[in-house]
A = this chain, B = another copy of it.
């Protein structure tokens, strides 16, 4: 193969496997196939744990696993090989080395790693199977909303740190308190602080299995106080995440609005071109189509209203000196 053919092939692979702005039928089919394979893999892991499903089809499960590893390994190698097309001017091996350390590539490696490890080290088969579940993480690549959620998690990590810190304080305090109070009445259940922690976690998260319950009056009062405090705290991360998500999305909407205003300021460029520009900005910001349309309409309306206000003002004031005309 000539160097040119290789180059064209590599570009073709890159476009259909990795390039997100390249949107062809083939690239979509590749995505669908990989998503399906990941989901089938997860289903297989679950099914293999059921003896009545596993034993009759042992061979088929093995074949499917071999097929999956082959596909995922090929995917990994092709990505590794074609990533250089992302920036044709950069150094090939430098780019590949950067890619290998990217989160996406690490997830891909984790997805196939354990299967290869098995050749050298003998791992407990059952444990090995479950490790295959890491393949689920490969899905992250295909869902924009997942990535936004991760970004929010990262942005709000300060708040989460505080919540986890308080949660730990609460758990330690609760388990120590209940240990002091209930140890005499139920020496086995509340034998030590670490053992009491099970009660603390089950109670503070409001799961409340009912396997460990305070029975003394003091224990019940302590339990009640801790539960009331805990309830508020346990739901806090969800609240922070929800508010953070809403803020992130509204920030992105504002960003889109601002960019759109900037475009409109340039004057009457033909609309079709703008449409493409807005679409690409929308994708970049991970917003949905409807939201983008709402924003565009909103901006155009506000501009119209401003214009009207200016016109009304002009009617009432002299445009030459600003003096009122009455």
| Residue positions of A touching B, CB distance < 8 A | 42, 45-46, 49-51, 126-127, 130, 133, 136-137, 139, 143-146, 148-149, 155, 158-159, 161-163, 165-167, 169, 172-173, 176-177, 179-180, 183, 191-194, 197-198, 201-203, 205-211, 213, 220, 223-224, 227-228, 230-247, 249-250, 258, 261-262, 265, 288, 290-291, 301-302, 305, 308-309, 312, 319-324
Contacts of A250 in B (CB 8 A): 247
Q: How far is the CB of A38 from chain B (nearest CB, A)?
A: 11
Q: How far is the CB of A218 from chain B (nearest CB, A)?
A: 12
Please tell me which one of the listed residues B50, B231, B308 contacts residue A237 in the complex, with CB atoms under 8 A apart. Answer: B231
Q: How far is the CB of A96 from chain B (nearest CB, A)?
A: 28
Please tell me which one of the listed residues B50, B159, B231, B241 contacts residue A206 in the complex, with CB atoms under 8 A apart. Answer: B231
Q: How far is the CB of A62 from chain B (nearest CB, A)?
A: 18
From known contacts A145-B161, A320-B323, infer whether A312 and B265 are also in contact, taking CB-CB under 8 Å.
yes
Please tell me which one of the listed residues B176, B231, B246 contacts residue A235 in the complex, with CB atoms under 8 A apart. Answer: B231
From known contacts A46-B193, A193-B46, A232-B237, infer whether A262 and B130 are also in contact, taking CB-CB under 8 Å.
no
Q: A246 to B183, alpha carbons, bound, how many Å?
A: 41
Q: How far is the CB of A228 from chain B (nearest CB, A)?
A: 6
Cβ contact within 8 Å between B242 and A240? yes
Q: How far is the CB of A198 from chain B (nearest CB, A)?
A: 5
Q: A176 to B129, alpha carbons, bound, how many Å?
A: 10
From known contacts A143-B165, A146-B165, infer whether A211 and B211 are also in contact, taking CB-CB under 8 Å.
no
Contacts of A312 in B (CB 8 A): 265
Contacts of A223 in B (CB 8 A): 201
Please state the number of chain copies in the assembly.
4
Contacts of A137 in B (CB 8 A): 169
Q: A290 to B251, alpha carbons, bound, how many Å?
A: 15
Contacts of A211 in B (CB 8 A): 210, 213
For this complex, 16 residue pairs linking A to B, each with C-beta atoms less than 8 Å apart, are A49-B179, A130-B177, A133-B173, A139-B165, A145-B161, A205-B206, A207-B208, A207-B227, A211-B213, A232-B236, A236-B238, A236-B242, A238-B238, A258-B305, A261-B305, A265-B308
Q: How far is the CB of A31 from chain B (nearest CB, A)?
A: 16
Cβ contact within 8 Å between B172 and A42? yes
Cβ contact within 8 Å between B205 and A231? yes
Of all chain B residues, the one with the shortest Cβ separation from A229 is B237
Q: How far is the CB of A222 from chain B (nearest CB, A)?
A: 11
Q: A165 to B38, alpha carbons, bound, how many Å?
A: 13
Q: A197 to B46, alpha carbons, bound, how many Å?
A: 10
Cβ contact within 8 Å between A192 and B50? yes
Contacts of A236 in B (CB 8 A): 232, 238, 241-242
Cβ contact within 8 Å between A162 and B146? yes
From known contacts A197-B224, A224-B197, infer whether A162 and B148 are also in contact, taking CB-CB under 8 Å.
yes
Please tell me which one of the listed residues B173, B179, B234 contacts residue A231 in the complex, with CB atoms under 8 A apart. Answer: B234
Q: How far is the CB of A258 from chain B (nearest CB, A)?
A: 7
Q: A51 to B320, alpha carbons, bound, how many Å?
A: 88
Cβ contact within 8 Å between B224 and A232? no
Q: How far is the CB of A243 from chain B (nearest CB, A)?
A: 4
